[in-house]
Structure 1
Amino acid sequence: MRFGTLAGRLVVVDGDRALDVEKHSGGRFSADANTTLAHFAEFSAWAAGADLAEAEPFTEAELGAPSPRPRQVFAVALNYRPHAAEAGFQPPDEPLLFTKFPSCVTGPITEVTLPPGKPDWEIEVVAVIGTGGHRIPRERAWDAVAGLTVGQDLSERAVQLQGKPAQFSLGKSFPGFGPTGPVAVTPDEFEDRDDLGFECFLGDERVQYGRTSEMIFPVDDLVARISAVCPLLPGDLIFTGTPAGVGNRREPPRYLQPGELLVSRVDGIGEIRQRFH
């Protein structure tokens, strides 16, 4: 199943057509993503039998974030060894977690106002939590994931790295700094849910690429470790980390500029696009 939102309402997506969940379930499931994802097993079973012939056309520009109002947004630093190396660190023994504040989350096709400083890019595969839970064992962790989507952990490095300790969460939460989409795809749709290819382009230049099989801490491990401390709630997001190729580790450093277009793609999911001004 591929799901997303249109005008803030949860939809099941089939190509360029979408089925409004609340309308076509006769009110059994809510238009609110968090409410319906809390009953993900039942929702998924209903969607498998839904009549997609009744789906209505839409344009990709109309799509919002697959989970537009997450209550918690977790993010993982240095989860790919090449990125840890380019940043001058040893690969971590435990996940290094921070948060992006939920107000930064947006949909897949956006215009982002660049703040002063050193704005940078970080493509990430993002896990959307379904039913969630507390102290989820790793062997059941994938059951807590409703879907995977494309994300950018946009980062203003001057704010992020100021002070000791640094202001990671603040520097990564300017308006529009958490674009996600275009849809979330349930893990069963992938040939190998632990090995997705992804890449990101700034203009014509491919600036990042990788595969999720290269993660130090895979998705199920992250779900288990995070939920051991924080109960995961329906609609929560986990930004799972970025590979090598970010702008501030180039020689010389390269930062986002007004007028540039950033395109981020994940195999089997789709792409998101951010224009900067």
Structure 2
Amino acid sequence: MSFTLATWNINSVRLREPIVLKLLQEEAPDILCLQECKSPVEKIPFEGFAALGYTHMIARGQKGYNGVAILSKLPIRDVGDKDFALLGHARHVAGALENGVVIHNFYVPAGGDVPDREVNVKFGQKLDYLTEMRDWFRAERPQKSILVGDLNIAPREDDVWSHKQLLKVVSHTPVEVEHLNNAQEAGGWTDVTRADIPDGQLYSWWSYRAKDWDAADKGRRLDHIWASDDIKSAAHSSRIIRAARGWEKPSDHAPVFATFDL
């Protein structure tokens, strides 16, 4: 069984339904995982996705904030969610394919603007969320699993436009990178994107604040696809659809793709 999977922080699935449909029509992944849907589940525009063959959806939602969804052409079974750090947010959902592969879709907290948990509650919540991810992975030791999502951390020096200038900026601080690496190691996860594309600058997010995001190219790789140790060799063909960042009424994120032969 071979399938292509994509992950995309869509920043409102209802507002940006047209570009979700565009991606599904042009790139046709078998599975699309969305984050920051900002919609109750019942108001996600499922009909349009189903008309393109995405007849299966697993989602967790809330009005105006957060929200994660898995759209699939392949049969997929809801296998639950976890409320890491007890935030009460719709930030995780998991689905199992018929071949037993479990897909975890995550939206890790952004962490606010100040990288200090003593003065910024949101930063502390982010670190606590990652710590609980680590502990869960250590206890469960995922097998035959894929983890995707907006993890809101660019871990490598070449995952940001300027390592030196972003060392004190939330998403690339050493403490965040350490927490993310600890979670990855605890679960035996492989960063599929970087296994496929090991060298060079690589981004999936560009700020709305840039007058010309493409020319400035001050990006960060915040969106990730990981594979558990037992299926890491099945992953290939990783790519980021950078052009989607320039579509009409875009998200500030671009979709990340990988193919698995399982």
Bigger radius of gyration among the two: 1
TM-score (norm 1): 0.29
The structure with higher relative contact order (CA 8 Å, sep 6+) is 1
TM-score (norm 2): 0.30
Q: Which structure shows the higher strand fraction?
A: 1
Q: Which structure shows the higher helix fraction?
A: 2
